[in-house]
Structure 1
């Protein structure tokens, strides 16, 4: 089927690519069907695009490309809700808040998007008891700026 997207125009989407979020996403509870699309070839960025509303789309990344020590411990209820049987069927994405300049962009490590790729069920999993926040710098800030330091 043809789908109009917020960032990259019209694309073809196959039924097996559709990810179902039974309860939607927080603040977007009516948006239950999404697809993940590459943002641009050669970049680590993807689009989590709603199939219902063109303007409901989020830039996402695989957080493990940016944060080597990042970890997500899913609850039993989340594993059950997504009917996860094997760890290798789990895909994790985090939502990026793009800012100007780009170096100021942040990523939500506290609320990753979790997808069971075996059945295309997804949820946003909020890690309440963690040290992760909703606004981690995507690109680490330099400890000293040009002209500072000795």
Structure 2
């Protein structure tokens, strides 16, 4: 299938690349289907809606910035994502770029089951992480 993207123009993708967020992503609850795209020569990725080219979020892997980053999924989150092993889990954090500052939301990571492509943004409780933690690139 072909989709229009915010940063990459029109691209071709396979159904197997589509990540499903059953409840959408907070702020974009109506968007349920996304694709993860690499940004060449960077450690950034984009999660792009397949239906709305303007819905595209920049992502990073938290361990590129916080070596001891930890998350704990609830039983409900594990069930919803259909996880059976920690090897199935990919974790990303949304990045915001402002005039002279880049921040990452380490408090609400995006979790993806790489086996079935189910995704969910969770909110960590009792966490030491910030919603707008400055990062250096």
Return the TM-score normalized by structure 2.
0.96
The 3-state SS of whatever aligns with 1:98 is strand
**8 Å CA contact 2:2, 2:11 repeated in 1:** yes
Q: Distance in 2 between matches of 1:49 and 1:64?
A: 22
In 1, Cα distance between equivalents of 2:102 and 2:112: 24
The equivalent of 2:23 in structure 1 is: 23
Report the Cα distance in structure 2 between the residues aligned to 1:38 and 1:94, rounded to whole angstroms. 14
Correspondence for 1:131 among 125, 128, 133: 128
Correspondence for 2:5: 5
2:112 pairs, out of 108, 112, 115, with 115
SS at 2:78's partner residue? Answer: helix
Give the structure 1 partner of residue 44 of structure 2: 45
Q: Which residue number corresponds to residue 89 of structure 2?
A: 90
Higher strand share: 2
Q: Bigger radius of gyration, 1 or 2?
A: 1
- Per-residue CA deviations over 1:24-75 (Å, capped at 9, x if unaligned) read 0112111000000012x22100000001111000000111111111111111
Deviation at 1:139, TM superposition (A): 1.4
Aligned length: 137
> Partners of 2:22 and 2:118 in 1: how far apart?
8
Structure 1, unpaired ranges of 5+: 141-150
Q: Could you tell me how far 1:128 is from its partner in structure 2?
A: 2.5
**Cα distance in structure 2, aligned partners of 1:65 and 1:93:** 10
Q: How does 1:59-78 map to 2 (within 5 A)?
A: 59-78=58-77
8 Å CA contact 2:3–2:51 kept in 1: the answer is no
**Structure 2 alignment gaps of length 5 or more:** none
RMSD, matched Cα = 1.1
